[in-house]
Amino acid sequence: MALRRDPHVLVVGGSDSSGGAGIARDIETIASIGVRTCLAVTALTVQTHEAVMEIHPSQPDLVADQMRAALQANKV
């Protein structure tokens, strides 16, 4: 018997510690239409709704590896 796999959207973006934007908001929006997500994080931030205090970019190879792993784990 084959396993049923739900469709996924690959979300590629940065974090937002305030929750107002970035990957957290993308996941929330995509989930609201009933689709699952997998992700690759491009940056970590320290921010509020009013200001960004720090940005820590992810290494490009790490982002690429995250994307490959997410796509491999969620093949149709």
Q: What is the mean pLDDT of residues 33-59?
A: 95
Q: pLDDT band at residue 3, thresholds of 50, 70 and 90?
A: very low
Give every CB contact of residue 26 below 8 A, 6+ residues apart in sequence.
11, 13, 37
pTM reported for the whole predicted model? 0.82
Q: How far apart are the first and last CA of the chain?
A: 15
CA angle 70, 74, 76 (to 5 degrees): 145
Q: Among residues 4, 8, 2, 11, which one has the least CA distance to residue 66?
A: 11
